[in-house]
Amino acid sequence: MLYSLAPTGPLREGDTVFSNGEQRVRISKLADVTRGRNDEACVLDPDSPLMIVQLSETEANDSFIAQVQGNPSHEWPFCPALIEVVVKPFQVFQKPGLFSGIQSLLIR
């Protein structure tokens, strides 16, 4: 509970962040699952967990590379698990809100 109420810190490599809504992102490295496709982008599900792989060296507001951690969907255009994508800081948030998680649970 204290973790959920604590302020967010700077982004670091190895941190887990979550997709802020449904986001269209560019694929960093084309993998086997993207071969034969014209589009070099995929869609992240809302609240999809991502692990930061590489941060930009120049500015904190630049995009960074993250690996999709969990997405059981195998349908294109949704991002498959373990693919690396280029994400901008406004497309993610650092931790799920305590009260928003409770609210979504109660709504279900």
Domain boundaries of the chain, sorted by first residue: 2-107
Give the 3-state secondary structure of the chain. CHHHHCCCCCCCCCCEEEECCCEEEEECCCCHHHCCCCCCEEEECCCCEEEEEECCCCCCCCCEEEEECCCCCCCCCECCCCCEEEECHHHEECCCCHHHHHHHHHHC
pLDDT in tens, 49-107: 999 999 877 655 688 999 999 766 677 788 888 889 999 989 998 876 555 556 666 77
pLDDT in tens, 16-39: 999 988 989 999 876 555 455 566
